[in-house]
Structures are given as C-alpha cells and as structure tokens.
Amino acid sequence: MNKHFPVYINYLLVIFLFLSCKIGPNPEQELEKIESKVDILPPGELYGDLFYDVQTNTIFSDSKTFVDAKPQYNVGLIRQRYNMLEDTTKEGISDFVKQHFELPGSDFELEIDSSSIKSHISKLWNVLKRPSDERKSGTLIPLPKPYIVPGGRFREIYYWDSYFTMLGLQEDREVETIQNMVDNFAFLINEYGFIPNGNRTYYLGRSQPPFFAMMVKVLSEIRGEQVLAKYLPELEREYNFWMDGSETFQNNNAVRRVVKMKDGEILNRYWDDNATPRPESYREDVKTAEDAIAENPALTKEEVYRNLRAGAESGWDFSSRWLHKNENGQYDLSTIHTTDIVPVDLNSLLYNLEMTISEAARISGNQEKSKAFSLKAENRKQAILKYNWDSEAGFFKDYNFKNEKVTGQYSLAGVYPLFFEIATKKQAESVANKIEKTFLKPGGLVTTPYNTGEQWDAPNGWPPLQWLSIKGLKNYNQNQLAMEIRSRWLKLNKDVYNRTFKMLEKYNVEDLTKESGGGEYPTQDGFGWTNGVYQKLSSEN
C-alpha cells in the first residue's frame, strides 16, 4: 500500500476492491461512497502518492498548480489508476495528470482598452467575481454566495485580502457583493470555527490576520449598526478561535495562538495546527527545512514547517520580521522563528475585535458582555504599549517572548497601533518621523528597510500597508505626510497601469523603473486589494 496514505484510506480502498469483485457491476458508484467520507482532505491525503510524486518531480514550476487542479474523475478511481500506472517517469506522471485533471489556467483576462484606471477597476470586479460554488471539487471548499478572488494564481477567496478589496467595492457601490463576502466568511466561521487562509482544504490549519470585524464595520457603515449585532455570534466565535488555550495555561507560556507574557498578560502569536510542508509550496518548504537543519542541527523539520506555516498565517510570507540573521549577517529564510514572536499587528487587530464585540454586545442589549470585552480590549492595549513599544527606537515593533525583548526589525506592522488608535499622541509623532525618514520612498512606503529577497521586505510596497499607514497617520493629524504617501502611491499605480494596463499585487517603490519581486512566485496581476485601496484612496481628499 502507498506509504503516504493514512491507514483508514487504505482500509476503505480494500473494502472497495472487495465489493467491486464480490458485488460487481458499478465500481465507480462504490468509490463515490468512499470518497464522500474522505474528500474534505488536504491534497497529500486526498491524492496520496500522486501528490508527492507530482510535487517532488517538479511536474509544474509552481507547486500551487497541482493542488488547485480539478479532478475529472472520482478521486478514488484516480488513486486506483495511479497505483496501477507503470510509467512513473516525470513524463509519465505529467501525462497522467493531464488525462485526469483540469489544470488551472488564466481566468483573469481583460481586454486592454483606453479606460481610465478607475473605470478599469470597476470593470475588473466582474472579472474577479466567482459564482457560488455548486459542489466541492478537488481542494476547493464551496462557498454559498458569490465572491471576489485576488487574481493571478490566487483563484479562491483570501481572508485578509478581502477587507481591502471591500474598500473599493464600497466606493463602487457593490453592496451586494460586500454582503455576500461577509456572509461567506460567517459561513466559514460557523462551519469550521474560524476563517481559513482561503477556501481550500490545504488552508484548514491556519487563518490570516483577523479583519472580519473590519469587514462587518464596512457593511455597518452602509446598512446601519444593527449589522454588528447580527454578526455578534460569528465575531465571538472567531475570537474564541484566536484565544483557544488561554483558559488552560499551566507551566507553558504559549499554547497554540496564545502567549502568557512574563507578567501574566495574555497576548497572541501566529500559528498553524500542522507541522508539515505547505502543500501549495511543498518543494520550497522541504528545501528550506533541509537548509535550516544543515545550519542548525538542533532544529527539527517539524519546527521549520510550523514556523513557515505560521509566517503564512501572518499574510507576510515572508519577511525579515520572522527571521534571524545567519552567520554571514544576512536574513535567511532558514532562520524563520515566527512562533517565538508576539506580533504588533495581530494584537492590534485582536484589540479591535474585542472592541467590536463590546460594541456589538451593547447594540444587542448585553451590557455585561459589552463591559467585559471593553475591559479585555483595555488590558490588551496596555500590554501592546508595554511590550511592543520600543522607546529607544521610537517605534512599535514585534516582541520576541522567548528572549523577552522587542525584535530589532523595523516594519510597517508598526503602524497598526496608529490605525486602531492605540498609540499615544507622542508615540504617533515618533512613528510618523521614522516613517518619513526610513520608509518613505519615491513610490510610497517600503514594507521594511531591509532588502532580503523576501517579498515582504524592500524594495516592495504593498497596498494594504499604504492604506493602514495613511489612515493611521490621519488619526493623529499627521496629514501632510499621509497625503504625500497617498500622492506617491496613486501616481505609481497609475503610471504602471498606463504602461501595462495591469493592477499589480505589489510594487517596487524604490526604483520606479523596475517591477516588484522576491518571494516564492512572480508578481501577480488582477489584483483585488490593489484595486480596492486605489478606489478608496483616489476618492478621498
């Protein structure tokens, strides 16, 4: 039997083979029964050896291609046929996949015309919109209502992307689409207890930065405050996901996503429930683990995989935020240690979630719950100010709870306390000064000052961080700097669009003649959150 198959799958297949011989006429019907019991699985378990052989033989240059493919036959039958395949060369495997799967292609083509950038974005909503899913196919988790995908290789809904996409949908009065997407996320919370990274089975071990409360607020701005009360159960359930383990601390100072700080405060970290290579980046993760262990034999591959996955939950996959410097003084992905870090952005978002639950409970008439969550938010605020503020640097940074000090790295995650109005006025002024001197570049704000080859570092600028920074600075009347960032970013977006007729996932903000880069895949176009932020910023004074 296949070495990668869980025992129960092998057992079911044995039953199938027995039944097909004993009872006879309809083996595919029997496989359908088997598959219905096991098909909500990540691709390694769903496809068995076929998955591992496709990924390790580099059948596709992008590891995500195969895990997004749609099986054209019953998956049990595909597994059985692959077990019987004699030609297991790279060419033979490739031919088998092409015969049994519909491979993902480019679904995002839009005719180039002379439309203005804002008109182009308005048209793109229909290009990026997907209908409700009729059924599960391969790794896709069906959603009950239509939704917007980012574009390019990202063919499914993504959690934190969607808030920034909604900003543009709000400007273009696409209210029904916003409602549908909020309902889809509420569905995922109720179905799985949290919002996965995206609606794929291989994302069921992790979430992404918790922006659901901000999405509900966008909808409430359109349809009134009762929207907050309507989604209170889902807001609480997401909160419980992030806080799972906080009531059962014993001697450990970290359980899943919660961390007990040195003075007893509870804060959070990024995590993933699995410690295996990410299916969508399988080869890359295996290589990173090999490099990490070669550099530090005390590590286990499971530790490396967990930290890579936690970095993916952060949305910043990957960044110097999660890395140590290697022996050559360079930031190296093999040094990743995401789970040691209490991130300033995550905890600011959870402060906002606590505040939103408090408000929703008040609207619902539950004053006791409202007060309880208001107190939780205040306690978290004080903990963020205590642990994430670097007074020497005058900037908010991530905190390493293992060595009990802030990390050395500057990043735009430091603007979150301004966006959510956690910072003091004096702190905000200091952050603004550092942003102007260190992060402001010709095309907007660079993500970090470090050029590491990772995509969430220099020279790249990302749409969500421009929006969060501009809004955060405005919250503290740092209006001149906010407007300068806005002007540079919008001009860069427009200039690239006029040259290419594309809206890109990220941009090179340092050298405006070059494209962005770094990371595990080429820069994508489409692009949901770029469109959303552009529409929102360009409509404001």
Tens-level pLDDT at each residue, the chain (541 residues) = 344 444 334 434 433 443 333 333 344 443 343 344 345 789 999 999 999 999 999 999 999 999 999 999 999 999 999 999 999 999 999 999 999 999 997 655 656 666 899 999 999 999 999 999 877 779 999 999 999 999 888 999 999 999 999 999 999 999 999 999 999 999 999 999 999 999 999 999 999 999 999 999 999 999 999 999 999 999 999 999 999 999 887 767 899 999 999 999 999 999 999 999 999 999 999 999 999 999 999 999 999 999 999 999 999 999 999 999 988 899 999 999 999 999 999 999 999 999 999 999 999 999 999 999 999 999 999 999 999 999 999 999 999 999 999 999 999 999 999 999 999 999 999 999 999 999 999 999 999 999 999 999 999 999 999 999 999 999 999 999 999 999 999 999 999 999 989 999 999 999 999 888 677 767 788 899 999 999 999 998 6
H or E element in which residue 445 lies: strand 444-445
In a domain, 107, yes or no: no
Residues 6+ apart with CB under 8 A from 437: none
Question: Within this chain, do residues 202 and 323 fall inside the same structural domain, yes or no?
Answer: no
Per-residue tokens: 414: 């430091």
Of 39, 73, 102, the last residue of a domain is 102
| In a shared domain, residues 401 and 427 | no
| 218 and 238 fall within a common domain | yes
**How far apart, in whole angstroms, are the C-alpha atoms of residue 136 and residue 149?**
17
Cβ atoms 312, 197 nearer than 8 A: yes
Q: How many distinct structural domains can be found in the chain?
A: 4
- Run of H or E residues at 377: helix 367-387
Separation CA 321–CA 341 (nearest Å): 9
Beta 341-342 vs 395-396: how paired, if at all?
A: unpaired
Q: Is-contact 148 528, C-beta < 8 A?
A: yes
3-state class of 126 per DSSP?
A: helix
Q: Is residue 93 part of a domain?
A: yes
Say whether both 485 and 359 belong to one domain: no
Residue of 481, 486, 466 whose CA lies nearest to 529: 466
Residue 478 has a pLDDT of 98
Q: What is the DSSP string of 483-518?
A: HHHHHHHHHHHHHHHHHHS--BSSEESS-TTS----
**Which residue matches tokens 């994430």?**
388
Active site residue 505: yes
Q: Is 284 a catalytic residue?
A: no
456 and 518, same structural domain? Answer: yes
In terms of domains, do 325 and 399 share one?
yes
Say if residues 307 and 339 touch (Cβ distance below 8 Å).
Answer: yes
162/167 Cα distance (integer angstroms): 9
Give the bridge partners for 198, in sequence order: 158
The dihedral built from the CA positions of residue 425, 429, 435 and 441, taken in this order, carries a sign that is: positive
3-state secondary structure of 455: coil
Residues 456 and 436 occupy one common structural domain: yes
Q: Are residues 295 and 362 in the same domain?
A: yes
Three-state DSSP class for residue 350 = helix
Tens of pLDDT along 445-477?
Answer: 999 999 999 999 999 999 999 999 999 999 999
pLDDT at 67: 97
250 within domain boundaries: no
Q: Which of 409, 428, 456 is the last residue of a domain?
A: 409
Q: What are phi and psi of 349, to 5 degrees?
A: -65, -40
Query: Do residues 404 and 286 share a domain?
Result: yes
Maximum CA extent, the chain = 79
Alpha helices (runs of H) in 156-274, residue ranges in sequence order: 159-171, 175-192, 212-223, 226-230, 232-242
Which of 99, 90, 100 shows the shortest CA–CA distance to 61?
90
Residue 285 lies in a domain: yes
Tell me: do 427 and 392 sit in the same domain. Answer: no
> Active site residue: 35, 161, 317, 332, which one?
317
Residues linked to residue 460 through DSSP beta bridges, in sequence order: 508
Angle value at C-alpha 108, between 102 and 109, nearest 5 degrees: 110
In a domain, 389, yes or no: yes
**Same domain, yes or no: 495 and 516:** yes
**Whether the bond into 142 is cis, omega within 30 of 0:** no
CB count within 10 Å of CB 214 equals 21
Give me the percent of the chain exceeding a pLDDT of 70.
90
Nearest-angstrom CA–CA distance, 389 and 17: 62
- Separation of alpha carbons 80 and 62, rounded Å: 26
- Cα–Cα distance for residue pair 325/135, rounded to 1 Å: 46
Q: How far apart are CA 243 and CA 376, in angstroms?
A: 12
For residue 527, the tally of other CB atoms under 10 A from its CB is 26
Q: Say how many residues make up the chain.
A: 541
pLDDT of 27: 41
- Interatomic CA distance for residues 9 and 217, integer angstroms: 44
Whose tokens are 């789970």? That residue is 339
Structure confidence at residue 23 (pLDDT): 36
396 and 424 together in one domain: no
Q: pTM score, two decimals?
A: 0.92
Structure tokens at 154: 């990202």
Q: Which tokens belong to 164?
A: 């920034």
Give the per-residue pLDDT at 39.
Answer: 58
Residue 1 within any structural domain of the chain: no
Query: For residues 531 and 172, is the Cβ–Cβ distance under 8 A?
Result: no
Q: Tell me if 115 sits within 8 A of 45, measured CB to CB.
A: no
Choosing from 303, 505, 520, 525, the catalytic residue is 505
- 289, part of any domain: yes
H helix runs in 101-143, sequence order: 117-128
Please tell me what DSSP assigns to residue 141. Answer: P
The torsion defined by the Cα of 523, 526, 532 and 533, in degrees rounded to 10, comes to: 30
| Parent domain of 52 | 7-102
In a domain, 111, yes or no: no
SS3 130: strand
